[in-house]
Amino acid sequence: MRIAFLGKGGAGKTTTAAGFVKYAASKHPFVLAVDADVNAHLKSALSFNGEAKQLGLHFDEITEFLRGKREDLGTRPIIGTTPPSAKSNFITVNANDPFVSKYGLKQGNITLLTVGTYQQEDVGGSCYHEKLKSLAGIFHHMLDTDNDIVIADTTAGTDNVATSLSFAYDLNVFVLEPTEKSVQVYLDYKAIAGDLASRTYVIGNKVDGQDDAEFIQGLVGKDRYLGSIPFSRNLKSFEQGEEEAINDFHGEQATAFTELHKKLVASKRDWQQYLDRLHSTYKWDCERWYSDFYGCDMLEGIDKSFRYENALAQWCPQAKVAALV
Ligand SMILES: Nc1ncnc2c1ncn2[C@@H]1O[C@H](COP(=O)(O)OP(=O)(O)OP(=O)(O)O)[C@@H](O)[C@H]1O
Ligand SMILES: [Mg+2]
């Protein structure tokens, strides 16, 4: 199960994602947190120590790992949207998974993966989609089961729809402040997201009373609204150095998180639909750009016999997913 926190800049995505990581970690044996924002703040919001490896800097190394024992690709490179084959390497959601333990920063039962930020050589010539390519490859080779929890903090705005990460999450949650501008980001997303909108919900943040909650509900619809997190004096006290105040803030987030958690555990991924989307995105990428760029027919690199269900049965037998014949 994968959930992404989205919304306008400054709405509280990172604060809410970090709170939900802690909430989920109190209910599940393991949580994989993902900082998918180039302005990486999830590590500090989780109060993690140590240096996080930046996935965006290790694209070649990561794609070579994902390639595994594939011979069907020949010399074709792996791009962010390359669909897996049965001979690929996969990533499972636990602290001992070789990929997770190599690239993740672990604290207690939470491991954090970080896309990472720009380097000096990126100045003036790099786009953050370049950084997100590694994460796309990782998600498309991730075999998370219905018991696994993956929580991502994302970049501000509606940009999520513009990459294959748009369908990588089972649940999208917009963190909205009770202002027109903040809600508009969700409405803009909804207008273009197609069927992804049906797995997208809203949490009100910095909500000051019932009027604020009703303001957001009036614009997004009650059926999309999972709950409110108040404008918190406790969070401010925490940010001013009063460490214990964070527990009181987590208490203020708990009601909304209970509803969110219910939605998340009830979500079921349609692996076939996921694979179909990945195939069409890969095809689109290759036809528009990559086949010309690499001077080869990249589409020949699709293993049409691959099914995620079979990989799950092999790599995660505890998930009890029946292999397809
Ligand atoms: N419920 C809340 N009550 C009071 N302040 C809050 C609340 N939630 C977030 N904030 C404050 O709002 C500011 C922005 O929060 P945060 O960094 O989580 O937003 P963001 O959406 O991740 O921003 P960015 O778009 O820069 O990534 C921070 O100073 C944070 O402390
Ligand atoms: Mg943030």
Residue 236 sits in a domain whose CATH number is 3.40.50.300
Candidate from 14, 15, 37, 38 with most ligand 1 atoms within 8 A of CB, to mutate = 15
Q: What is the C-alpha radius of gyration for the chain, rounded to an integer number of angstroms?
A: 20
Nearest CA among 46, 176, 184, 50 for reference residue 105:
50
| CA 284 to ligand 2 centroid distance, Å | 30
Nearest-ligand number for the alpha carbon of 177: 1
Question: Region 271-299: what's the mean pLDDT?
Answer: 94
| CA 45 to ligand 2 centroid distance, Å | 9
Residue 47: the pLDDT is 92
324, part of any domain: no
Question: Region 263-267: what's the mean pLDDT?
Answer: 95
67, part of any domain: yes
| CA 1 to ligand 2 centroid distance, Å | 21
Does the pTM exceed 0.85? yes
Q: Is the pLDDT of residue 122 over 60?
A: no
Question: Which residues touch 236 (CB under 8 Å, ≥6 apart)?
Answer: none
Grade residue 107 by pLDDT with cuts at 50, 70 and 90: very high
CA 163 centroid distance within chain: 12
| CA 158 to ligand 2 centroid distance, Å | 14
The neighbouring-strand residues paired with 7 are 157
Q: Is the pLDDT of residue 175 over 60?
A: yes
| CA 314 to ligand 2 centroid distance, Å | 37
Residue 304: the pLDDT is 92
Ligand 1 atom at shortest distance from the alpha carbon of 10: 23
218, part of any domain: yes
Nearest-ligand number for the alpha carbon of 252: 1
Residue identifier of the C-alpha nearest atom 9 of ligand 1: 12
186, part of any domain: yes
Question: Residues lining ligand 1, judged by CB closer than 6 Å?
Answer: 7, 9-15, 37, 39, 41, 156, 205-206, 229, 231-232, 235, 239
Residue identifier of the C-alpha nearest atom 23 of ligand 1: 10
CA 123 centroid distance within chain: 26
Q: Which two tokens stand for residue 193?
A: 């997201």
Rounded-to-10 torsion of CA 83, 174, 263, 134 = 20
Q: Is the pLDDT of residue 177 over 60?
A: yes
Give the structural domain span for 162: 2-319
Residue identifier of the C-alpha nearest atom 25 of ligand 1: 9
Q: Is the pLDDT of residue 139 over 70?
A: yes
Q: Is the pLDDT of residue 124 over 70?
A: no
Q: Is the pLDDT of residue 116 over 70?
A: yes
Q: Is the pLDDT of residue 157 over 60?
A: yes
What's the rounded Cα separation, in Å, for the pair 113 and 54?
A: 8
Of all residues in the chain, the percent with pLDDT exceeding 70 is 92
| CA 22 to ligand 1 centroid distance, Å | 16
Q: Is the pLDDT of residue 260 over 70?
A: yes
Q: Is the pLDDT of residue 75 over 80?
A: yes
325, part of any domain: no
213, part of any domain: yes
Residue 158: the pLDDT is 67
Residue with the two structure tokens 């917009």: 174
Grade residue 253 by pLDDT with cuts at 50, 70 and 90: very high
Question: Region 241-261: what's the mean pLDDT?
Answer: 96
279, part of any domain: yes
Residue 128: the pLDDT is 54
Phi-psi category of residue 32: left, alpha or beta, with phi > 0 → left and psi -120 to 50 → alpha? beta
Grade residue 51 by pLDDT with cuts at 50, 70 and 90: confident
Rounded to the nearest integer, the mean pLDDT of the chain is 92
Of all residues in the chain, the percent with pLDDT exceeding 90 is 82
Q: Is the pLDDT of residue 225 over 70?
A: yes
Question: What's the structural domain count of the chain?
Answer: 1
Rounded-to-10 torsion of CA 152, 39, 114, 126 = 110
Residue identifier of the C-alpha nearest atom 7 of ligand 1: 206
Residue 126: the pLDDT is 54
The count of C-alpha atoms lying within 13 angstroms of the C-alpha of 195, restricted to the half-sphere facing its C-beta, is: 5
Question: Region 202-219: what's the mean pLDDT?
Answer: 98
Residue 98: the pLDDT is 96
| CA 209 to ligand 1 centroid distance, Å | 18
Nearest CA among 217, 230, 170 for reference residue 12:
230
